Amino acid sequence: MSDARVGLVIEDDHDIRELVRTVLSQAGFDVSVASSGAEGVLAAKNINPDVITLDLGLPDIDGFEVSRQIREFSDAYIVMLTARTEELDTLIGLESGADDYLTKPFRPRELRARIAAMMRRPRSVSDPSEAPPAADAQAEGAGSPERGNFSHNGLELSYSSRTVVVDGKEMNLTRTEFELLHALLEAGRTVRTKSDLVRRLRDEDYDVGSYISEADERSVEVHMGNLRKKLGDSPQKPRWLQTVRGVGYRLAPGEH
Ligand code: CA
């Protein structure tokens, strides 16, 4: 079996398809393309890609449905390409399973940066070569700088095994949701701004000063909304995810 990472581009617009294909090829991927949703789902089954870019507006099935179908058998990193920023609003309720969203027209380097950040994260625990060495040091509660284990108000997160358990039940989070939750557990009661969290998802330092667009921040809101829903957390009386209006998010206080 080849070690090359595999990318799949699902896009009906020829020019965008070729642009994305070029970006992924330059990033070292073996790239396949599909020009419809049905073709894309089939290709995803056949080639087991690491990364999928998915156009929202496809001629047959829309990108949300394609993403849901692919999620049934794949943990590929899915980047949804949408035509307008406003469409992000509709993503909140849809839980399509996409990890990231980019609005067209996007800059190729933006796509490249996101894919590079994602490839630095472990893909899954089933591949031991990618899992960090067993971290036995238990970081009790929040505020630990270690990437390890966190336990807060009935939620347990293990970074090394990429698992989140809430009241004894294992959660099925996307990679992006996992990273956001981890960032908040790590920060404890310190507020993380939306820009901080965008940078975290890009795997950049918090103070690097790179450009953050409004759409990037909206995308964090979308993921937080989905995460909250999956955890069954309440925005009014949060157990974990507390919104700091106009700023960002932080971990809710510990229950006693
Ligand atoms: Ca399209």
Tens of pLDDT, residue by residue over 107-137, are 888 888 888 877 776 554 444 344 444 443 3
- Amino acid identity, residue 152? H
The whole domain housing 97 covers 5-119
Phi then psi dihedrals of residue 218, to 5 deg: -60, -40
Return the amino acid letter for 15.
D
pLDDT tens-digit profile of 23-80? 999 999 999 999 999 999 999 999 999 999 999 889 999 898 999 899 889 989 999 8
Contact 43, 20 (CB under 8 A): no
The total number of structural domains that make up the chain: 2
When comparing pLDDT for 43 and 85, which is higher?
43
Q: Are residues 56 and 160 in the same domain?
A: no
Asked whether residue 93 carries a pLDDT value surpassing 50, the answer given is no
The rounded Å distance from CA 102 to ligand 1 centre is 13
Residue (of 124, 112, 244, 115) closest to 173 by Cα position: 124
- Between 239 and 147, name the one with better pLDDT: 239
Ligand 1 geometric centre to CA of 76 (Å) = 21
Q: pTM score, two decimals? A: 0.65
The mean predicted confidence, pLDDT, of the chain is: 83
Q: Are residues 23 and 79 in the same domain?
A: yes
CA of 83 to the centre of ligand 1 (A): 8
Provide the CATH number for the domain around residue 29: 3.40.50.2300
Does residue 96 sit in the same domain as residue 134? no
Ion ligand 1: residues, CB within 5 A, are 12, 55, 57
Would you say residue 14 lies in a domain?
Answer: yes
Give Cα 46 to chain centroid, integer Å.
Answer: 23
- Tell me, in angstroms, the distance from the centre of ligand 1 to residue 85's CA: 15
Q: Are residues 83 and 178 located together in one domain of the fold?
A: no
**Which CATH number characterizes residue 143's domain?**
1.10.10.10
Question: Does some domain include residue 256?
Answer: no
Is there a single domain that holds both residue 39 and residue 57?
yes
Q: Are residues 98 and 21 in the same domain?
A: yes
Indicate the length of the chain as a whole number. Answer: 256
Average pLDDT over residues 182-197: 94
Q: For residues 68, 66, 114 and 13, what is the CA-based torsion angle, rounded to 10 degrees? A: -170
User: Is the Cβ–Cβ distance between 235 and 182 less than 8 Å?
Assistant: no
Do 95 and 138 fall into the same domain?
A: no
pLDDT tens digits, residue range 223-256? Answer: 899 899 999 999 999 999 999 998 999 999 998 6
| Contact status, residue 118 vs residue 128, Cβ threshold 8 Å | no
